[in-house]
Structure 1
Amino acid sequence: MTVRRVVPNVQSESVEENREFYGLLGFEEVMNHGWIVTLASPSSPTAQISIMAGDKTAPVTPDMSVEVDDVDAAYAAVRASGAEIVHPLQDEEWGVRRFFVRDPDGRVVNVLGHR
């Protein structure tokens, strides 16, 4: 399994203000679903940050997202380890397959792959 990118997710009630702030640091908007905005560095597109008001389909807002090349293999490995699945593996309407898992320190990780 290969990790493609890791993105911190910042929960905020001020999504637009944060988009503008991180723009001052050189980030540009690459995705905007209203409830989540992802910003990336134009010179290094995998350097990203997401600002979230809340997650659209999950019970919690994840602390970070990890994109992998095989989300089904990641899900099987995490389940076999006994780690807590916070949000089950599912296909989302915006084109990703994902699940949430809690790490040993209690952070929620959104593990995803693009379909």
Structure 2
Amino acid sequence: MAVRRVVPNVRSEAAQESREFYGLLGFEEVMNHGWVMTLASPSSPAAQVSFIAGDKTAPVVPDMSVEVDDVDAAYAAVRDSGAEIVHPLQDEEWGVRRFFVRDPNGRVVNVLGHR
């Protein structure tokens, strides 16, 4: 299994202000579903940050997102380790398959793969 990118998620009700502020640092909006907006560096597209008002289908806002090339294998490894699954593995309408897990520090990690 390979990690494709890691994205910090910031719980925020200030999407417009965040877009403007991080725009000063060179970030541009690459995704906006209304409840989640992702900004990325045009020169280094894997350098991203997301701002989330509230997750559409999950009970919590994750602290970070980790995109992997095989989310089913990641889910099996995490489940078999006994880690707490916070949100079950499922296909989302916006084109990702994902689950949330709590890490040893208490942080919630959104593990995903694009379909």
Normalised by the length of structure 2, the TM-score is: 0.99
Which aligned pairs between 1:46-65 and structure 2 lie closer than 5 A?
Answer: 46-65=46-65
Q: Is the 1:5–1:67 Cα contact (8 Å) retained in structure 2?
A: yes
CA distance, structure 1, for counterparts of residue 20 and residue 56 of structure 2: 22
Structure number with the higher strand fraction is 2
* Percent sequence identity over aligned pairs: 87
Instruction: Give the corresponding residue for 2:2.
Output: 2
Aligned residue type for 1:84:
E
Aligned residue type for 1:83:
A
SS at match of 2:20: helix
SS at match of 2:44: coil
Instruction: Give the corresponding residue for 1:111.
Output: 111
User: How many angstroms does 1:15 deviate by?
Assistant: 1.3
Q: Is the 1:19–1:51 Cα contact (8 Å) retained in structure 2?
A: no
CA distance, structure 1, for counterparts of residue 23 and residue 57 of structure 2: 27
Q: CA RMSD in A?
A: 0.4
Instruction: Give the corresponding residue for 1:40.
Output: 40
SS at match of 2:94: coil
Which segments of 5 or more consecutive residues in structure 2 lack a partner in the other structure? none
Which segments of 5 or more consecutive residues in structure 1 lack a partner in the other structure? none
Establish whether residue 70 from structure 1 lines up as the match of residue 60 from structure 2: no
Aligned residue type for 2:54:
G
Instruction: Give the corresponding residue for 2:23.
Output: 23
1:54-82 deviation line (CA, Å, top 9, x unaligned): 10100000000000000000000000000
Instruction: Give the corresponding residue for 1:81.
Output: 81
SS at match of 1:22: helix
CA distance, structure 2, for counterparts of residue 20 and residue 97 of structure 1: 30
CA distance, structure 1, for counterparts of residue 40 and residue 64 of structure 2: 15
CA distance, structure 2, for counterparts of residue 47 and residue 14 of structure 1: 20
CA distance, structure 1, for counterparts of residue 58 and residue 20 of structure 2: 26
